[in-house]
A and B are shown apart, each in its own frame.
Chain A
Amino acid sequence: MAGQFLYVQNAYGGPPPALTKVSGHQIHFYQQYDTDRLDWTGYDAVLLSMSADQVHLGEISGKLAAYLDAGGTLLINGHVARPFLPELRRYEPMAKRGLNELTIHRESAHPLFEGISAASLTLRKGVAGFYGRGSNPPPEGALVIHSVGPDHVAVDWLYERPQGGRIFVHSGVELWAVLMLEGPQGLPVIQKFFDWLAETSKVAA
Chain B
Amino acid sequence: MSASGKPVMAIIDGGQHYHHDSITREPFKDFFDHVVYLRDVAKTDLSAFDILIIPCRTNAYFLAPLSGQLQAFMREGGTLVAMGETFPDSWLPDIGFRPMQTNFWWWLTPGADLGLRMSDPGHAVSRYLGKDDVTFHLHGAFEPLHPNQKSLVETAEGECQMFEDVVSYAPGRLVATTLDPFFHHGAFFMPATTRMLAGMLPWLSESEAERKAARTA
The distance from the CB of A66 to the nearest CB of chain B, in whole angstroms, is: 21
A-B contact pairs, 25 of them (CB 8 A): A10-B14, A10-B16, A10-B59, A11-B57, A12-B59, A12-B61, A12-B87, A31-B61, A51-B16, A51-B59, A53-B38, A53-B59, A54-B17, A56-B39, A78-B17, A79-B17, A79-B18, A80-B17, A81-B16, A81-B20, A82-B15, A82-B17, A125-B105, A129-B189, A173-B187
Cα distance A81–B15 when bound, in Å? 9
Q: Does B3 contact A (CB under 8 A)?
A: no
Q: Size band of the B side of the interface?
A: 20 to 34
Do residues A53 and B16 form an inter-chain contact, with CB atoms below 8 A?
yes
Q: Mostly helix, strand, loop or mixed at chain A's interface? A: loop
- For A149-193 the 0/1 string (1 means CB < 8 A from B) is 000000000000000000000000100000001000000000000
Take A33-B62, A133-B188 as given contacts and tell me if A53 and B14 are in contact as well, using a CB distance cutoff of 8 Å: yes
Q: Which residues of A are interface residues toward B (Cβ below 8 A)?
A: 10-12, 31, 33, 50-57, 78-82, 91, 93, 125-127, 129, 133-134, 173, 181
Do residues A54 and B187 form an inter-chain contact, with CB atoms below 8 A?
no
The distance from the CB of A136 to the nearest CB of chain B, in whole angstroms, is: 10
Closest to B190 in A: A129
Q: Which residues of B are interface residues toward A (Cβ below 8 A)?
A: 13-18, 20-21, 37-39, 57, 59-62, 85, 87, 90, 104-105, 108, 187-189
3 A-B pairs with the lowest CB-CB distances in the bound complex, closest first: A53-B15, A81-B17, A12-B60
The distance from the CB of A131 to the nearest CB of chain B, in whole angstroms, is: 11
Q: Which of chain B's residues have a CB closer than 8 A to the CB of A53? A: 14-16, 38, 59
Cα distance A127–B106 when bound, in Å? 12
Cα distance A10–B183 when bound, in Å? 14
Q: Which of chain B's residues have a CB closer than 8 A to the CB of A125? A: 104-105, 108
Most buried by A among B16, B60, B62, B187: B16
